[in-house]
């Protein structure tokens, strides 16, 4: 599974990269790409295809959290997940869902992520990433809405 994680906090990005490397060594099939800004994410989305895009709503080059995720969601067909410390994260997910975006139904508080545990126990990272995707046999919201 190819994952773009949009995260501007350098230490979090380092831990995510280490977790992805550990998951790769276990052959869990997660190819993680880190983007550090909205412009970086847009550039990577134009060049590569992703199955999942994990978005931090508070980025250095975007002060409007709704615009951040809307710009990303409009760049292709992939699942969007919100992992952010923003107080608006649940409202943003509700708005995306109402708009028919293929979005993980629950926002995740970045402060609750066990990043160091993801590095030590790559199966936790794998399970977290897979937990953001739709359950097998279910249709993503965007496809279900178009029927």
Supply the CATH number for residue 132's domain: 3.40.50.2300
Q: What is the pLDDT of residues 92-104, one digit of tens each?
A: 999 999 999 999 9
Instruction: Name beta bridge partners: 55.
Output: 6, 82
Q: What band does 63 get if pLDDT is binned at 50, 70 and 90?
A: confident
How many domains in the chain? 1
Using alpha carbons, list the distances in angstroms from residue 112 to 56, 83, 94, 107: 13, 10, 20, 11
Q: State the pLDDT at residue 139.
A: 60
Residue 40, classified by CB atoms within 10 Å of its CB into exposed (0-12), middle (13-18) or buried (19+), is middle
What whole-number distance in Å separates Cα of residue 81 and Cα of residue 69? 9
Q: State the pLDDT at residue 136.
A: 74
Q: What is the pTM of this model?
A: 0.91
Q: What is the pLDDT of residues 116-128, one digit of tens each?
A: 999 999 999 999 9
- Kindly tell me if the per-residue pLDDT of 16 is higher than 80: yes
On whether the CB atoms of residues 89 and 107 are closer than 8 A, the answer is: yes
Question: What percentage of the chain carries pLDDT values higher than 70?
Answer: 93
On whether the CB atoms of residues 56 and 41 are closer than 8 A, the answer is: no
Q: Which domain holds residue 13?
A: 2-145
């Amino acid at each position: 599974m190819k994952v773009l994680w949009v995260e501007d906090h350098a230490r979090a990005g380092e831990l995510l990269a280490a977790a992805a490397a550990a998951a790769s060594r276990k052959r869990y099939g997660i190819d993680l790409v880190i983007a550090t800004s909205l412009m970086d994410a847009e550039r990577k989305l134009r060049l590569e295809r992703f199955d999942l895009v994990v978005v931090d709503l508070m980025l250095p080059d975007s002060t409007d959290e709704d615009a951040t995720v809307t710009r990303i969601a409009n760049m292709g067909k992939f699942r969007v997940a919100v992992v952010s410390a923003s107080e608006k994260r649940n409202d943003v997910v509700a708005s995306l869902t109402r708009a028919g975006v293929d979005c993980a139904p629950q926002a995740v508080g970045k402060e609750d992520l066990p990043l160091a545990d993801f590095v030590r126990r790559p199966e936790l990272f794998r399970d977290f990433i897979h937990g953001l995707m739709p359950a097998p046999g279910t249709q993503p919201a965007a496809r279900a809405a178009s029927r």
